[in-house]
Amino acid sequence: MTQTSSQLSPPHEAMFLILPYLPLFELLSMSQVCKSFRDALKHDILPWLNIIVEKPINTRFSDEFLVKIMSKAKGRLNVVALKNCFKISDEGLLQVIASNPFISKLYLQGCTSLTIEGVIGAVKLLTKPNHRLKNLGISGIYNVKIEDFQTLCHLMGINQMQMKQIKKNYYHMRRELYAFKQESQPSIDVDICPKCGEIREVFDCPRDSCKKRMQQQQKQLLECRGCFLCVPRCEECGVCTKDEELGEAACVDILCLNCWLHLPKCIFCNKAYCNQHAYQQHVGSSLGFLCGGCNFHATQSSHYWF
């Protein structure tokens, strides 16, 4: 016989083991699946120790919602990663930090409503004696000056020269969702650009020839190491593209010729989309896709004839 809704058994116990590994959006969705999941998420703090806020809920994340969600960890938050949460203010951030003083990794990339003064205040709370902030991400926060960067490094005990030697920072890996779980990453995600002197993310070149030059002569480091404004890079592989032949891209990003050759092209103009913007492709026929520009012109032409 078919079980009625009142006779359905609870979820298998193994399902509860995956809860701590889910991003926030999935956690909130799971809490609405059934009473068992809702109760588990209400009473167990383990799934709430590492909070990742990203699409599709980052644009709706307010101070009030931030404080409510973070309170589920009951003061034991370990990792907080806020991706492009532009509604979060200094007040909301500091309220969370005050209640969770043992956060070890704090990522605030793209949180444009935060000020550097608010960030410094948060870092001061997280670097008091017996506290343990190890990693900080602030790329995308406006008006960060050299003095602010040096203050953050001092508070976190960062040796800037050693930081450059810990791990190379590659442009094409900057969007990796769970990059913050890598223990070998730099302690802070920004640096002083050796070309323009601004505080931004500074990227290294993964090209083998550039690596060899960097090893042979330190001054060569300045040729292809810099922020995204100073050194143009391929969106797909992150190599510097100065004096390089480029492939035509249908999006605004830069593609080196090698990556362009391996990407699908518009069947009309032969331009390629990088993988990040592949969703902009318009299905043209069984032969391939149309880029946004060619699709627009094709639509206009069909309207003209009719």
Q: Tell me the per-residue pLDDT of 199-238, one tens digit each, with 9 for 90 and over.
A: 999 998 888 767 655 555 554 445 788 998 999 999 999 8
- The two beta strands, 79-82 and 288-290, are unpaired
- The two beta strands, 105-107 and 135-137, are parallel
pLDDT of 128 reads 87
Question: Who has greater pLDDT, 99 or 4?
Answer: 99
75: left (phi over 0), alpha (psi -120 to 50) or beta: left
Q: Does residue 245 have a pLDDT over 90? A: no
Cis peptide leading into residue 56 (ω within 30°): yes
What are phi and psi for residue 80, nearest 5 degrees? -125, 120
Which of 77-91, 155-169, 221-235 is predicted with the least confidence, judged by mean pLDDT? 155-169
Q: Is 92 exposed, middle or buried (0-12, 13-18, 19+ CB in 10 A)?
A: buried
Q: What is the separation of C-alpha 246 from the centre of its chain, rounded to a whole number of angstroms?
A: 26
* 3-state SS assignment for residue 180: helix
pLDDT of 182 reads 55
Q: Does residue 303 have a pLDDT over 60? A: no
pLDDT of 28 reads 79
Q: Is 151 exposed, middle or buried (0-12, 13-18, 19+ CB in 10 A)?
A: middle
Q: What is the mean pLDDT of residues 133-148?
A: 93
Which of 160-169, 274-283, 286-295 is predicted with the least confidence, judged by mean pLDDT? 160-169
Percent share of the chain, pLDDT over 90: 41
pLDDT of 82 reads 93
- The two beta strands, 79-82 and 50-53, are parallel
Which of 55-64, 119-128, 160-169 is predicted with the least confidence, judged by mean pLDDT? 160-169
Question: Who has greater pLDDT, 243 or 51?
Answer: 51
Dist CA 154 CA 147 (whole Å): 10
Q: Which residues of 220-253 are buried (b: 16+ CB within 10 A; e: fewer)?
A: ebebbbbbeebbbbbbbbbbbbeeeeebebbbee
Cβ pair 26, 52 in contact under 8 A: no
pLDDT band at 5 (very low <50, low <70, confident <90, very high): very low
> Mean pLDDT score of the chain, rounded to an integer?
82
Dist CA 264 CA 43 (whole Å): 49
Cβ pair 89, 119 in contact under 8 A: no
Cβ pair 126, 106 in contact under 8 A: yes
Dist CA 148 CA 144 (whole Å): 6
Percent share of the chain, pLDDT over 70: 81
Q: What is the mean pLDDT of residues 181-186?
A: 53
Model confidence, pTM: 0.79
Half-sphere exposure for 270 (CA within 13 Å, toward CB): 2
Which of 2-11, 111-120, 133-142 is predicted with the least confidence, judged by mean pLDDT? 2-11
Listed in order, strand segments (DSSP E) in 134-231 are 135-137, 191-192, 199-200
